[in-house]
Structure 1
Amino acid sequence: MNNTASEEQLIFLENDFEFVSQENRTHIDETYMSQSYWKDVSKRFFRNRGAVIGLICIILIVFMAIVGLDLNEYTFDEQTITHQNLPPRIPGVENLGIFDGSETMNTSTGVVNRNKYIAEDGSVTGLEDVYYWFGTDVLGRDIFTRTWMGTRISLYISLVAVLVDMVFGLSYGLISGYFGGKVDNAMQRFAEVLNGIPNLVVVTLLIIVLKPGLMTITFSLMITGWIGMSRIARAQMLKLKQQEFVLASRTLGARDFFIIFREILPNIFGQIITNTMFSIPTAIFTEAFLAFIGLGVPVPMASLGLLISDAFKSFTTHPYMIIPPVVVLAILMLSFNMLADGIRDAFDPKMKEM
């Protein structure tokens, strides 16, 4: 009787239990799809507004350097003496009262406002239908086409800097750091000797052997422009060559150059790209500086440094000549620096916190 009663007491009814409320439910872990390394890098890069703006500016400048010389009927080396020192004049915009060909000049008698496109006495000057978007220089050459021709030279120098860094500087630093010992010591002493020679002295010596021009600047970058990249590559090699994956490759019989370029190089690719992007503005500024002091490309070729040098001589009387090359050069260098900053933060986000 007692057992039967106890069994009857253990019978559960339907309303003996109730569901736990929704807010008290245990949270279930969710599994998110993993992203690839390069997708993660690109995502961080495009979140950086400064880097994206820099990339857009570089694309626009490259586009104008390609098509800018064909946008009007003038060439970069065409001289028209009757069109010398003409201020900027843009069709359509001139109706707004700006870029209409007028120029304010400071003379000994005072400030004079004149327009060389239109005669003051109402006579025909032959320039009524002439338009120069950036004006002309002292020899009557179109500054618009010369500016974009100079931009081509600067972009060529940037391409040379990238090739020298990636082909020579990278290989030199990786090989030096990997083998170490006497090989590393000899290679680093050689690099220090080259780095101790000023770049201006190197260019001057090359001009004695070669003619002034792009080849001289190219050889100058090939002689000393790779040293910074080699040091970065060597430092990364010394950091990684004792890692386990390198030891595993060596144990499996991999050759030295296979380990250098197939095992270690992919792991330092982010630092290599970042350092390369930072070296481009330095190379562009070096070319502009050499052209400014007369060691750049010879006339009638145009570079941004040469245009600035020529316009600087007429800066007090015709300041409009120096504005286009200075603005393009400043935007180009600033854009590459912003792009390099964005790439560095995308590959190594921890650097942003330091």
Structure 2
Amino acid sequence: MSNMVSDENIEFLPNDFEIMGEENLAQVDNIFASQSYWKDVLHRFVKNKGAIIGLVCIILIIIMAIIGIGINENTYDSQIIQHQNLAPRIPFLEKLGIFDGSEKMNTSSGVVEVNKYVSNDGSTTGLENVYYWFGTDVLGRDIFTRTWMGTRISLYIALMAVLIDMFFGLTYGLLSGYFGGAVDNAMQRFAEILNGIPNLVIVTLLIIVLKPGLMTITFSLMITGWIGMNRIARAQMLKLKEQEFVLASRTLGAKDLFIIFKEILPNIFGQIITNTMFSIPNAIFTEAFLAFIGLGVPAPMASLGLLISDAFKSFTTHPYMIVPPIVVLAILMLSFNTLADGIRDAFDPKMKEM
């Protein structure tokens, strides 16, 4: 009885009961607000610095391709024989001793520094107030204007590669994979036959029928440029067409085209965008290669491959001519590749670990 009374008189304080080893307890999980799939993709893409730099470079190149041709009074095909073989000369920078119009030339007596903008004997040349930022070629054409005109052609090829992939290769692969059987077998054998023909042979045959130019390059891309997208779309269709959500749509009476383009296509959109972005540098390089070997756009039209081909002939005497088109082409292809890598990692982060 006395023990019960003593227990009733016990007074408990707030700090009588404390959790021992509190520092060793697991932390409580943080609660994050849910976000949509596309917001999650955008968040991962923005965190990729390489992809952002590539996207910025592409935007800058597109802007220069639009406005670069109209910055000065020269056109891509205008020739001024008196201005031939002029080295790059840029205002303000010439005061620093760089891009002042001088170039070093290899002669039989050794290396000689020449500046055709000014006269060695003090007489006037008429070029004192003339500036060519990238210099001129052997025909006196402004390389700056021709470079950005050539960039337009490369961007046109990139656009055509995207359209051909999205509208033809994607549709062809989805239909082939969905219907399967004899339809799939016939469609894929036809694609393999086209893919077995070298692209150079196709362009050569097209030049016999058509005139050399952008139309020939476009038809060449239309014949074989969609094969890669077809394979990706078909593989994804074979993977998803037996899934439960497709079976549910078919059970509810959905038509084939509805299932293909409304049910399955949104689920493979990430792979489609990634493959399309990777096909752009390949198309740009193909056009530049064809132009370099003389199967691209004819003169006086400018393309990056044609500029590189023309400048290569004068590389030993005037190496500055080949630098602008090569730099723009390299930055353009590298930017598209880094952008494609960023898009791939954004849609499928596990791919980065492979």
Which amino acid letter does the alignment assign opposite residue 293 of structure 1? I
The one-character-per-residue Cα deviations of 1:140-182 (angstroms, maximum 9, x if unpaired) are 0000000000000000000000000000000000000000000
Scaled by the length of structure 2, the TM-score of the pair is: 0.96
What SS does the corresponding residue of 1:15 show, helix, strand or coil? coil
Residue equivalent to 1:134: 134
Q: Residues of 2 paired with 1:72 and 1:94: CA distance?
A: 18
Residue equivalent to 2:15: 18
Q: Residues of 2 paired with 1:19 and 1:53: CA distance?
A: 60
Residue equivalent to 1:336: 336
Which amino acid letter does the alignment assign opposite residue 182 of structure 1? A
Which amino acid letter does the alignment assign opposite residue 255 of structure 1? K
Answering whether residue 195 of structure 2 is matched by residue 195 of structure 1, we say yes
The one-character-per-residue Cα deviations of 1:253-275 (angstroms, maximum 9, x if unpaired) are 10011000000001001100000
> Does the C-alpha gap of structure 1 residues 28 and 304 become closer, same or farther in structure 2, counting only changes over 3 Å?
closer
The Cα shift of 1:19 comes to 5.7
The one-character-per-residue Cα deviations of 1:297-335 (angstroms, maximum 9, x if unpaired) are 111110000000000000000000000000000000011
Which amino acid letter does the alignment assign opposite residue 83 of structure 1? H
Which amino acid letter does the alignment assign opposite residue 218 of structure 1? T
What SS does the corresponding residue of 2:8 show, helix, strand or coil? coil
Q: Residues of 1 paired with 2:122 and 2:13: CA distance?
A: 107
Q: Residues of 1 paired with 2:218 and 2:16: CA distance?
A: 79
Answering whether residue 99 of structure 2 is matched by residue 99 of structure 1, we say yes
What SS does the corresponding residue of 2:215 show, helix, strand or coil? helix
- 1:1-354 superposed matches below 5 A: 8=5, 11=8, 13-15=10-12, 18=15, 20-21=17-18, 24=22, 30-354=30-354
What SS does the corresponding residue of 2:168 show, helix, strand or coil? helix
Q: Residues of 1 paired with 2:141 and 2:224: CA distance?
A: 35
The Cα shift of 1:30 comes to 4.7
What SS does the corresponding residue of 1:278 show, helix, strand or coil? helix
Q: Residues of 2 paired with 1:52 and 1:158: CA distance?
A: 19
Unaligned runs of 5+ in 1: none
Q: Residues of 2 paired with 1:107 and 1:331: CA distance?
A: 33
What SS does the corresponding residue of 1:315 show, helix, strand or coil? coil
> Does the C-alpha gap of structure 1 residues 93 and 189 become closer, same or farther in structure 2, counting only changes over 3 Å?
same
The Cα shift of 1:15 comes to 2.5
Which amino acid letter does the alignment assign opposite residue 160 of structure 1? M
Q: Residues of 2 paired with 1:272 and 1:261: CA distance?
A: 13
Q: Residues of 2 paired with 1:70 and 1:26: CA distance?
A: 65
Q: Residues of 1 paired with 2:176 and 2:234: CA distance?
A: 6
Q: Residues of 1 paired with 2:61 and 2:249: CA distance?
A: 45
Which amino acid letter does the alignment assign opposite residue 177 of structure 2? G
Unaligned runs of 5+ in 2: none
Q: Residues of 2 paired with 1:17 and 1:57: CA distance?
A: 64
> Does the C-alpha gap of structure 1 residues 228 and 35 become closer, same or farther in structure 2, counting only changes over 3 Å?
same
What SS does the corresponding residue of 1:114 show, helix, strand or coil? strand
What SS does the corresponding residue of 2:12 show, helix, strand or coil? helix
The one-character-per-residue Cα deviations of 1:193-245 (angstroms, maximum 9, x if unpaired) are 00011101111111111110000000100010000000000000001111111
**Structure 1 runs of 4+ off > 6 angstroms?**
none
The Cα shift of 1:18 comes to 3.4
Q: Which moved more, 1:149-158 or 1:17-26?
A: 17-26
The one-character-per-residue Cα deviations of 1:63-94 (angstroms, maximum 9, x if unpaired) are 11011111112111110000000000001110
Q: Residues of 2 paired with 1:320 and 1:84: CA distance?
A: 13
The Cα shift of 1:17 comes to 5.8
The Cα shift of 1:32 comes to 2.1
Q: Which moved more, 1:198-207 or 1:19-28?
A: 19-28
What SS does the corresponding residue of 1:103 show, helix, strand or coil? strand
What SS does the corresponding residue of 2:111 show, helix, strand or coil? strand
**Matched length:** 351
Scaled by the length of structure 1, the TM-score of the pair is: 0.96
> Does the C-alpha gap of structure 1 residues 44 and 340 become closer, same or farther in structure 2, counting only changes over 3 Å?
same
Q: Residues of 1 paired with 2:294 and 2:49: CA distance?
A: 38
RMSD: 1.6
